[in-house]
Amino acid sequence: MHNRFRITISIHLFLISCLCVSEAETIDFEANRAIERELLPYFTAMLQSRDQLSKTKSFHHPTQQQLLSVARSWNHLSHTFKTTLLQAVAIPPESDMYKTPGFGIEIYYTTAGTDAVDSTDTYGYQEDDWRLLVPGPNGIPDYVDETGWALDSSWNMMINQIGFHAPSPIGSDSFLSDNYKVRIGSVGNFYGITYPAGPVEGETGFRSLVVIRNRWTGWNLSAMHNYETDPLKGISITCAHELFHAIQYATAHQEHGIAIDYFPISFLEATAVLMEELVFDYVNDFVQYTNAFFGDPGNYSFFSHDTRYDLYASSILPIFICYKLGKQIGPQFIKNIFDLNNSVPQKLDHLLDSASQKAGMTWGELLHQFFVSSYFTGRRENGLFTIDASQLPEWDYTAGSVTVGMTETKRILPYGMQPFSCILSSDTNNRILRITCAVDGMPPPVLPDMSVILKRGSGDTIIVGNLTNETIQVTIENSHMFSEALIIVSNGNYDRSIFVTISVHGSTDLIINKKNAPLSVAIKEPPISELFNLNGTRINKKTNTSAFYIRRVSHYLYPHGEKTEKNTVLRSGTLYRY
């Protein structure tokens, strides 16, 4: 199976400082020359004859890494190379044009040659209602009609409803209108490509051109993602994804970073994938990328600049945020990030902190909630994660990695997590479990968060957390009632790994150092209802058999900002703030 990529590449001659080399890098002129040697023949052939290019086996579409290298090295590439590339990707003057009925997006296409679309014409969309399909030929190929519908749907959601900045169209002597422009054509193994095309004169942001692939032959990726037989799904998510890249460029500054301002490429791709899910939530293309996280959750760093991490797997985090915060607040969380950056370019961690505060929490808390909730996917799905959780893989981790009476130390990557698993015994001599998490070395700027998932053999779980401190201790009475304690520790630091040590001790005596033990949980044997004695921050519970109550609490708990009276039954699947 061929690799399927989406990629954004910067291509304008006047893009002087947007793609500057970072302080940590040195200019490798020989590497730049190598890029030109590898790619100049391709773009030259593409410029001369697209049809001939498709028949010539010696030329291949650039790989993802090659295109990223072009973007990173743009200021240091030759005038000849950049001019050839720009001319090669321009809209062919002989193209046909269709203006979408919803928002006037101009789609350029052809029915001949390598870039040809299927000329079948059996229906169209009504001029005064872009959502209404009208049977019968309308002089426009159905493929173009469907691309127009997907673009109008994406524009309506992102710009009209959420309120993102509209993308800026390319400008040339041949195409003078202010309408945004999209081309349909051959893009190799890519879903689509977004080409930034220079700064908007006198404003912040860059112009751009989106190219959507013209054929989906051979794109049977899986039973869930068969775009060969259902190309409309492929068209739809590609239009949403690439249009959001155009929006990203429309709000970008020129003077920072190697891609768009300070944003890592993984964040730009993750939020573009999020738009696919917001506009066309029935496709779920993102699922195919998520195993990069779920397959080894302790070795994945979200929103990393390191392109060794799957660029699209990070999409599961903004998807969770929108699910967690709701359809109204969730998308605004993402919009706030780009709006804040549009005002003053900032590093991503500052933007995430500001957006989280507007949502009423810290970024570390939200990130930790993601990691804890991400355990509940596949067969473990219980409503805590995302609406598509049952379709996602389940975590891979080593059960019993830490034993009672022992310690274990692990490194946690930036915006990452580590699971620690302790298999519990039914031995009543270890009725009380004390779990301690300590940071090794100097405390980081953002202290770690910890939660404990207590598991029964029946599948019922109790989540205790989330706790933040340099040293965290949780004491659990009657721990012998559980089969496993799964300890989740997360790192809310953007550019720093941390080392944490987990120690687990069992005894028959309840000894709590209140300074270092912000939460204690007392679990009573049936037939008495399972009672929780809270001396801390948050708790979440899911059970199918018994009720559970607050007792001996001197303050109120607040689910979603609402007061909960003492001795009120806690609602399943709800996080409570104490």
Q: What per-residue confidence (pLDDT) applies to 3? A: 45
Q: Which one-letter amino acid corresponds to residue 196?
A: P
Mean pLDDT by 10 residues, the chain (578 residues): 42 30 45 81 75 52 57 70 77 91 96 94 94 95 97 97 94 78 90 81 84 93 88 96 93 65 88 96 93 93 80 94 91 96 92 94 93 93 89 90 88 96 74 83 88 78 70 75 89 94 75 41 37 35 32 32 43 38
Q: What per-residue confidence (pLDDT) applies to 567? A: 41
Q: What is the C-alpha separation between 566 and 551, in angstroms, rounded? A: 7
Q: What is the C-alpha separation between 323 and 383, in angstroms, rounded? A: 10
Query: From the CB of residue 244, how many other CB atoms can be counted at a distance below 10 Å?
Result: 28
Cβ atoms of 356 and 371 closer than 8 Å? no
Q: What per-residue confidence (pLDDT) applies to 574? A: 40
Q: What is the C-alpha separation between 225 and 219, in angstroms, rounded? A: 8
Cβ atoms of 491 and 498 closer than 8 Å? yes
DSSP code at position 18: T
DSSP 87-140: HHTSPPTT-EEEE-TTT--EEEEBSSSTTBPP---SEEEETTEEEEEEES--SS
Phi and psi at residue 350, to the nearest 5°: -65, -40
Q: What is the C-alpha separation between 277 and 288, in angstroms, rounded? A: 13
Helix-strand-coil percent breakdown of the chain, rounded to 5? 30, 25, 45
In three-state secondary structure terms, 369 is helix
Summarised one tens digit per residue, pLDDT across range 522-553 is 543 332 233 333 333 333 333 332 333 332 22
Phi and psi at residue 390, to the nearest 5°: -65, -20
In three-state secondary structure terms, 12 is coil
In three-state secondary structure terms, 427 is coil
Q: Which residues pair with 520 in a beta bridge?
A: 475
Cβ atoms of 292 and 309 closer than 8 Å? yes
Give exposure, 439-460, as e/b (b: 16+ Cβ within 10 Å): beeeebebbbbbbbbbbeeeeb
Pairing between strand 548-550 and 530-532? Answer: parallel
